[in-house]
Amino acid sequence: MTATVSFTIDSPLGPRTATAAYERKGAGEPLLLLHGIGHHLQAWHPVTDILAAEHDVIAVDLPGFGVSEPLPHGVPYSLATVAAALGALTSALGVERPHVAGNSLGGLLALEMGRAGLTRSVTALSPAGFWTQGERRYAFAALRAMRAGAAALPRPAVERLSRSAVGRAALTGTIYARPGRRSPAAVVAETLALRGATGFEGTLAAGGSVRFTDDLPGLPVTIAWGSRDRLLLRRQGVRAKQTIPGAHLVRLPDCGHVPMNDDPALVARVILDTVRSGRRPVAP
């Protein structure tokens, strides 16, 4: 069941109050789940029950996505600001330094939270921020095309397309390797979420100059990349490993950019393995 939480963000204009939607399930060490740009927390539903068998799982709609409110006026969608806001959000929920798993934009935010000392471990699935400028322009153009398509289609047309495997591929084939496995209701919901994402343009504008360049020594980090990622090409995973030498680089066979739906068991295992490594002392 979706709930909301209010938290305080520091901004150039002073403290501002923000509100975000989240779902919480399970018990154990806290595990925060962060979705990608234009998506919503339901992207994690294929793996939530598996993870919640061992953890207090908190999946959030990022500010300006899903049903979360946009960032308050004057607060930028910068990497540092949103990561700090997520730290404030978890504190408001009574959680300090959760394990964090993120996909795409969420993976980049998870890494930034790790850099800021806000996490116990990080699992980043096809994280943004390890691109060349050409690769970034390609990804942003693909995302804008997806959003334009979502905006152009009336809801009845989206619902008709979602009823067939071919239609689901047309709507979501850019991000899934197996779009036909996605349920019609999920495809309709995520298409509408992409259309209504108030934080989309602000996030893209902020991401134009973003490239993650920091190592995360002493923090358990896994970088996982789908072998069929059509949005952020898998060679970016090699750059991520070069940037974060201590990270464990994992290939996700036959998975696309949003792998949780393509192979839920594999993705859950990768996340749980990273969390378990975070419980062991890390050699200096």
Residue 284: per-residue pLDDT: 39
282 located within any domain: no
92 located within any domain: yes
58 located within any domain: yes
Residue 72: per-residue pLDDT: 92
Residue 116: per-residue pLDDT: 96
Residue 282: per-residue pLDDT: 42
Q: How many separate domains does the chain show? A: 1
> pLDDT tens for residues 200-238?
999 999 998 899 999 999 999 999 999 999 999 999 999
The pairing of strands 30-34 and 16-25 is unpaired
Q: To the nearest 10°, the Cα dihedral for 262, 108, 135, 215?
A: -120
**Between 165-172 and 184-195, two packed helices, what is the crossing angle to 10 degrees?**
30
- Read off the CATH number of the domain in which 69 is found: 3.40.50.1820
246 by DSSP, 3-state: which? coil
Residue 109: per-residue pLDDT: 98
62 by DSSP, 3-state: which? coil
Distance from the first to the final alpha carbon of the chain: 42
140 by DSSP, 3-state: which? helix
Q: Which of 188, 206, 33, 180 is nearest to 103 (CA)?
A: 33
Residue 10: per-residue pLDDT: 85
Note the pTM of the prediction, 2 decimals.
0.95
169 located within any domain: yes
> Which residue range(s) make up the domain with 42?
2-277
Rounded CA separation 30/170 (Å): 36
Please give the sequence-ordered ranges of beta strands (E in DSSP) within the chain, or none if there are none: 2-9, 16-25, 30-34, 56-60, 99-103, 122-125, 221-226, 248-252
If phi over 0 gives left and psi between -120 and 50 gives alpha, with beta otherwise, what is residue 283? Answer: beta
Which DSSP state fits 29?
Answer: S
283 located within any domain: no
284 located within any domain: no
Please report, in tens digits, the pLDDT of each residue of the chain (284 residues total).
899 999 999 877 789 999 999 999 999 999 999 999 999 999 999 999 999 999 999 999 999 999 999 999 889 999 999 999 999 999 999 999 999 999 999 999 999 999 999 999 999 999 999 999 999 999 999 999 999 999 999 999 999 999 999 999 999 999 999 999 999 999 999 999 999 999 999 999 999 889 999 999 999 999 999 999 999 999 999 999 999 999 999 999 999 999 999 999 999 999 999 999 876 544 43
159 located within any domain: yes
- What are the structure tokens assigned to 28, written together? 């154990």
Residue 280: per-residue pLDDT: 53
